[in-house]
């Protein structure tokens, strides 16, 4: 019996450390055990990541959150960004920033940049329904590094972003009741750090499939103290995204795991979160049903009170775990 237990442990260890050879296939992955995982960049292209690769501390010192870039989009410049430089008030006064308008902030994930697909998709949706200031945070100087390095640098990205937002509002005006921070994957944890750095004043913080690898039990991960109302949308829970509830309200479309409708692989399911969010901003049509617990959400058998998922409603409030069924293609 003891020999069987030892052999079983060795098999599990080998499976966890074996290098997967089929691109995009994360069927081997066991949360907290596997060393390797396929992870998409900002355009959905898979890259094999070694989760045990040590973070490059020297790189982190030179490519920290001080390298964040802040690109402003409004209805007057919906496709050509105006760069606002932290500490340079002239870059605000010469821009189309309007203090009385809503301020939406978008943060991409690993190996992405300001032009990654999620940013124009969500920006277009936001500007279609609101005369808003949309700031896209480009942290590609750090995000383009090894996953372990980028992950370790997320707190710095968030801290600098939080300080930037405080400076922006103090310098040019604005209202924290009009601020909505949105981040995908590692970006979800970055906006949470930024929200806490700003004293939890942002009226909304939204995490889109918050990154799972290296973030389970991490004190810097997204949580309900990041803003007045924190919402998470889980689409690849247990693989590329966290599965456990992480906000005031947590939505689990189609069970919150891979495969999402229209997806065969987890990298597709991971990206589905920002596609679903953009769709809800435009149409506000996806309704979650309150679940008794996380297990009910996983099997998508929730039947309680309904609550809108996503959208851009700045007065939105709620709590609980919600399940729902979506379609396989836009607008889902």
Q: Is residue 99 one of the residues assigned to a domain?
A: yes
Query: Nearest-CA neighbor of 306 among 266, 249, 239?
Result: 249
CATH number at residue 116: 3.40.50.1820
pLDDT of residue 136: 99
Whether residue 133 lies inside any domain: the answer is: yes
Tell me the catalytic residues: 185, 209, 270
Q: Coil, helix or strand for 133?
A: strand
Answer whether residue 45 is part of any domain: no
Domain range spanning residue 304?
59-324
**Average pLDDT per consecutive 10 residues, the chain (332 residues; last block may be shorter):** 33 56 89 95 95 96 96 98 98 98 98 98 98 98 97 98 98 98 98 98 98 97 98 98 98 98 96 98 98 98 98 98 98 98
For the chain, how many structural domains are there in total? 1
In a domain, 48, yes or no: no
Percentages (nearest 5) of helix, strand, coil residues in the chain: 35, 20, 45
**Which residues touch 188 (CB under 8 Å, ≥6 apart)?**
107, 109, 206, 207, 208, 209, 210, 211, 222, 232
Residues near 264 by beta carbon (within 8 Å), at least 6 away in sequence:
none
Q: Quick check: is 257 in a domain?
A: yes
> Residues for the chain: how many in total?
332
Query: Do the domain assignments include residue 26?
Result: no
Closest alpha carbon to 197 in 290, 105, 296 = 105
Does residue 16 form part of some domain?
A: no
> What confidence score (pLDDT) does residue 16 get?
54
pLDDT for residue 2: 34
Token code pair at residue 318: 């709620």
Is there a domain that residue 30 lies in? Answer: no
- 44: helix, strand or coil: coil
In this prediction, residue 24 carries a pLDDT of: 85
């Amino acid at each position: 019996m003891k020999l069987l237990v030892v052999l079983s442990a060795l098999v599990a260890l080998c499976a966890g450390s074996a290098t997967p050879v089929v691109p995009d296939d994360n069927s081997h992955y066991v949360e907290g055990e596997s060393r390797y995982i396929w992870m998409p960049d900002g355009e959905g292209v898979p890259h094999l990541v070694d989760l045990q690769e040590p973070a490059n501390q020297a790189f982190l010192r030179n490519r920290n959150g001080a390298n964040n870039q802040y690109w402003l989009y409004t209805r007057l410049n919906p496709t050509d960004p105006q760069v606002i430089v932290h500490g340079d008030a002239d870059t605000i006064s010469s821009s189309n920033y309007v203090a009385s308008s809503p301020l939406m902030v978008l943060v991409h994930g690993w190996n992405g940049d300001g032009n990654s697909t999620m940013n124009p998709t969500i920006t277009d949706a936001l500007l279609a329904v609101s005369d808003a200031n949309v700031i896209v945070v480009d942290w590609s100087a750090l995000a383009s590094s090894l996953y372990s390095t980028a992950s370790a640098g997320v707190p710095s990205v968030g801290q600098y972003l939080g300080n930037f937002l405080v400076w922006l509002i103090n310098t040019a005006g604005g209202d924290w009741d009009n601020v909505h921070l949105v981040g995908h994957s590692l970006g979800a944890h970055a906006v949470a750090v930024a929200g806490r750095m700003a004293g939890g004043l942002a009226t909304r913080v939204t995490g889109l499939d918050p990154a799972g690898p290296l973030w389970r039990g991490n004190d810097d991960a997204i949580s309900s103290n990041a803003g007045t109302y924190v919402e998470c949308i889980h689409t690849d829970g247990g693989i590329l995204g966290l599965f456990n509830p992480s906000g005031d309200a947590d939505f689990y479309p189609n069970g919150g795991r891979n495969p999402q409708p229209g997806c065969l692989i987890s990298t597709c399911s991971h990206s589905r979160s920002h596609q679903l969010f953009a769709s809800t901003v435009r149409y506000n049509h996806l309704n979650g049903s309150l679940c008794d617990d996380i297990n009910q959400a996983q099997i998508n058998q929730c039947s309680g009170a309904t609550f809108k998922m996503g959208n851009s409603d700045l007065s939105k409030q709620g709590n609980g775990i919600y399940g729902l069924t979506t379609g396989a293609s836009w607008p889902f």
